[in-house]
A = this chain, B = another copy of it.
């Protein structure tokens, strides 16, 4: 396989810094207060997608012409199809992708491990293999529909922008065209986030997952976060999914902000990893008229999340126990609540082990055990100690997964 087109670096660098942005601040003050107004109409989309896991999902939906975000003069609507710049390959882009169903976050598949990053990219061959394994793994795991590239478990903060884009491109090239690819493109500044988002869109991402900025947490007021996401969604070529993950950011995205942003025509959902099931239920309730999709951010509370109205989940555990996670969804949908409860019970401890307790290292280690490629963590994340590994193994064994 030719690695030529993988050379994103000449796309990136200077172009990256030279893009001319509109002057900042960009939001007239009137924007915010007009948001909930009536100028905006979002039609019930033609796609039925929220219901199933069927592979027809990623079909081409016509772009609704009546969708207007009140202050949007730019008409920056995502195109309904796109030719990727370098590959010439065409992939239909769902206008509003349905987020229903379950995603592995590709957490443990580090196609560009830190310690093998050489100038000549000789390891690309291995990377490609790894991606193939990803696919076969996912197919085996019955996660038919979509992937998330560069979520928290994808160690995105440990890669540079060049690598982040490259990774999206690899995944795009390796996966069947009926898969939805969601890429994590959040940075602290809206400027960087927009640049990265659109480069990822060019590289094949059909939606982006954008974490809350968090360094200046004392000043990340509701107003600041609303403006940040509005700006990014205005400029993004693809639909935006909000991402609240307080365990990493110490910021829990305020429900008021989410409800307001759910009206933006280019913001289609939220992944909430905070674990406050009351908040999640409330979000479903309060955004129910906005074609807004709420996703569980963890398998620890996936069944409760479905019960209160989530359409799916982006779960670290899907990388390890994808089949079981999908089975949980299926049991819920068939109304087999007693069985679903028992399966949910068995998933809690393994999920806690690969998230809160042992993090990325635990996730990767358990992937190795279960026949996938986890591989080493990137610094500064440490591998599990022998004792931690033993403890992780007990959890999987005690719940019948090893």
Chain A positions within 8 Å of B, measured between CB atoms, are 1, 3, 5-6, 8-18, 20-21, 23-25, 86-87, 113-119, 121, 124-125, 128, 152, 157-163, 165-166, 169-170, 173, 188-192, 199, 203, 213, 215-221, 223-225, 227-228, 231, 247-250, 275-278, 281-282, 284-285, 298, 300-301, 303-304, 307-309, 335, 337, 340-341, 344-346, 348-349, 351-352, 356, 358-361, 376, 378-383
Contact = CB atoms under 8 A, between A and B. Distances in A.
B219 A360 contact: yes
A192 B118 CA distance: 14
Contacts of A219: 358-361, 381-382
A108 B160 CA distance: 27
Copies in the complex: 4
Given A8-B169, A12-B13, A24-B379, 11 more contacts: A6-B170, A8-B162, A11-B162, A18-B119, A20-B118, A216-B248, A218-B359, A223-B382, A224-B381, A275-B278, A277-B277
Given A5-B87, A9-B162, A217 B281 contact: no
Given A3-B121, A275-B276, A380 B228 contact: yes
B17 A14 contact: no
A121 B17 CA distance: 10
Contacts of A249: 215
B349 A282 contact: yes
A12 B39 CA distance: 40
B278 A348 contact: yes
Nearest to A161: B12
Contacts of A162: 8-9, 11-13, 16-17
Contacts of A383: 25
Contacts of A358: 219
A285 B348 contact: yes
B124 A3 contact: yes
